[in-house]
């Protein structure tokens, strides 16, 4: 279902196969290339920038003579290229306008390709892929992000969900799968959308704990990238979670009470 491309390099006399989608950026150091990946590994190999540029394809931008950056890894462009993994890279300032134009065009191409590829995957394909999640004791869903013409995420579509998700959302799966969140819940809170967009576009794994006005519950959500243009979400109703303080089983406190106290304290102090 996923068409992942790979490159093969020689690093420290070892043959290594890398997924192109895992590469954040590459930089020229003397006669060698350093390849930085999403799992914070750095691989050194003897290649020219032109050689590796041909291998990586058009999903990368040259920000100066010795550096290529993945479009998916770029979070923002300010006085530096700010990456999703927290790194900041220098770029040729006089080419800032050109780099920004390239970024938006390549990002648009990426999103257009995602839309095209997603049209080829059916609900049955998603159900088969995630069937091992059908009976896990927590809510899980795979969502497809919906982008507007400016390449900003504006909604998401439920592509898979298990029975625990239906219980959490208090809706039957038939009402969820294939429908957009905004269509089902008119009071959609954008805080979830921004985090899911980050996981989808920049490959981040994020944990959120906040109140959901849509279902009137405090939720803990862990989101992470799955298919291109998608992210997976593990969701917990905080009222069903307990934690043990100082390893003492007799001092269990419900997460719902604990988090509600923190949330109310922040609000009382004027923190949003």
Residues 102-122: tens digit of each pLDDT: 988 888 887 787 777 777 788
User: Any idea where the domains of the chain sit in the sequence?
Assistant: 6-117, 123-240
Q: Which residues make Cβ contacts (< 8 Å) with residue 166, sequence separation at least 6?
A: 172, 173, 176
Structure confidence at residue 104 (pLDDT): 84
Q: CB 242: neighbour CB atoms within 10 A?
A: 13
Fold of 123-240: Beta-Lactamase (3.30.450)
- Position 235 pLDDT exceeds 90: yes
The beta-strand segments (E) located in the chain are 6-11, 14-19, 23-29, 32-37, 42-45, 60-64, 67-70, 74-77, 81-83, 88-89, 139-147, 153-161, 206-212, 217-225, 230-237, 242-244, 252-254
pTM score, two decimals? 0.66
Cα Rg for the chain, rounded, in angstroms? 21
Say which residues have a Cβ less than 8 Å from residue 101's Cβ, sequence separation at least 6: none
- Give exposure, 187-222, as e/b (b: 16+ Cβ within 10 Å): ebeeebbebbbbbbbbbbebebebbbebeebbbbbb
| Residue-level pLDDT at 264 | 57
For residue 99, what pLDDT is reported?
A: 92
Q: By the 8 A CB rule, do 25 and 33 touch?
A: no
- In CATH, the architecture of 6-117 is Beta Barrel (2.40)
Is residue 33 pLDDT above 90, yes or no?
yes
Q: Is the pLDDT of residue 266 over 90?
A: no
What digits encode the pLDDT tens for the residues 123-165? 899 999 999 999 999 999 999 999 887 677 889 999 999 999 9
What pLDDT, in 10s, does the model give residues 177-210? 999 998 998 877 778 888 898 888 877 889 999 9
- The first and second tokens of residue 63, run together, are 């920000």
pLDDT at 256: 54
């Amino acid at each position: 279902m996923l068409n992942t491309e790979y490159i093969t390099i020689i690093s420290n006399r070892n043959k290594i196969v890398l997924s192109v989608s895992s590469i954040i950026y590459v930089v020229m150091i003397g006669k060698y290339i350093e390849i930085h990946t999403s799992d914070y590994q750095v691989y050194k190999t003897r290649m020219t920038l032109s050689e590796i540029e041909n291998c990586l394809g058009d999903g990368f931008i040259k920000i100066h003579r010795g550096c290529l950056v993945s479009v998916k890894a770029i979070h923002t462009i300010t006085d530096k290229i700010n990456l999703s993994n927290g790194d900041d890279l220098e770029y040729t300032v006089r080419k800032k306008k050109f780099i920004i134009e390239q970024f938006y065009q390549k990002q648009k191409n990426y999103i257009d390709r995602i839309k095209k590829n997603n049209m080829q995957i059916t609900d049955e394909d998603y159900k088969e892929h995630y069937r091992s999640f059908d009976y896990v004791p927590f809510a899980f869903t795979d969502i497809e992000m919906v982008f507007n013409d400016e390449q900003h995420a504006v909604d998401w579509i439920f592509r898979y969900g298990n029975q625990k998700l239906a219980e959490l959302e208090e809706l039957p799966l038939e009402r969820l799968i294939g429908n957009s969140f905004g269509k089902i819940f008119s009071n959609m809170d954008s805080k979830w959308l921004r985090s899911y967009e980050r996981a989808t576009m920049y490959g981040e794994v994020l944990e959120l704990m906040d109140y959901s006005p849509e279902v009137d519950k405090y939720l803990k959500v862990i989101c992470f990238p799955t298919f291109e243009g998608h992210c997976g979400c593990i969701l917990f109703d905080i009222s069903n979670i307990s934690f043990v303080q100082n390893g003492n089983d007799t001092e269990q406190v419900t997460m719902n009470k604990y988090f509600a106290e923190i949330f109310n304290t922040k609000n009382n102090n004027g923190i949003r």
